[in-house]
Structure 1
Amino acid sequence: MASDAVWRQEGESLVHDYEFEDFKAAVAFVNRVADVAEEANHHPDILVHGWNKVRLTLTTHSEGGLTDDDHRLAKRIDAL
């Protein structure tokens, strides 16, 4: 998996782009992210595009922007 070195802030969101060997690896990563998100009860927007790319976007919609929950989830995703 190749990815940007860090999450970047875009407006009121944290964004991270990933690139994988193939589609199956990209979807497997999305499934791991889903498990972590369910445990945290905090869910990113997930875009699978191209045949091997994933973009994750974190924001707390109910708060209208970034919160500590977003930063905590980003760290948990980085640990995957």
Structure 2
Amino acid sequence: MATQTRDELVNKKCLPCEGGVEPCSLDEANGQLGQLDGWRLTHDGQRIRKDWRVKNFMAGIDFFNRCAEVAEADGHHPDLHIEGYRNVSVELWTHAIGGLSENDFIVAAKIDQLPIELKED
């Protein structure tokens, strides 16, 4: 997978993945993460994750609803986590291949464009 800009990713649509393809290598994943703010590798490089601290619980739920719309439109669904009522996280990986595919970076780039009410420190 060649590294793509955030705009290139946003303008793509996820392709169905039923397995049979190799996950991205660590080098490919790290290269692509250089184009996305705040995302990091987890689970030995098999997933990407981003964390936010939102204004309050409902701001987190509103954000997750927008994430769900993006995910459903692309047919690629993240894990959504909320802890301590305002710490939210999104985790992406391609379940069918047990690792990362281009789809994960496409959805991450689209999620980064969503409005979110962050906690003011």
Say whether the fold is shared (TM-score over 0.5): yes
Greater share of strand: 1
| Cα shift at 1:17 | 0.5
Structure 1 runs of 4+ with >2 Å offset: none
SS in structure 2 of the partner of residue 35 of structure 1: helix
**RMSD of aligned alpha carbons:** 0.8
Q: Does 1:22 align with 2:56?
A: yes
**TM-score normalised per structure 2:** 0.61
> How many residues are matched?
76
| Residue aligning to 2:38 | 6
| Cα shift at 1:6 | 1.3
Structure 1, gaps ≥5 residues long: none
83, 107, 112: which one aligns with 1:49:
83
Structure 2, gaps ≥5 residues long: 1-36, 115-121
Structure (1 or 2) with the larger CA radius of gyration: 2
Name the amino acid aligned to 1:49.
Answer: E
**TM-score normalised per structure 1:** 0.91
34, 45, 69: which one aligns with 1:35:
69
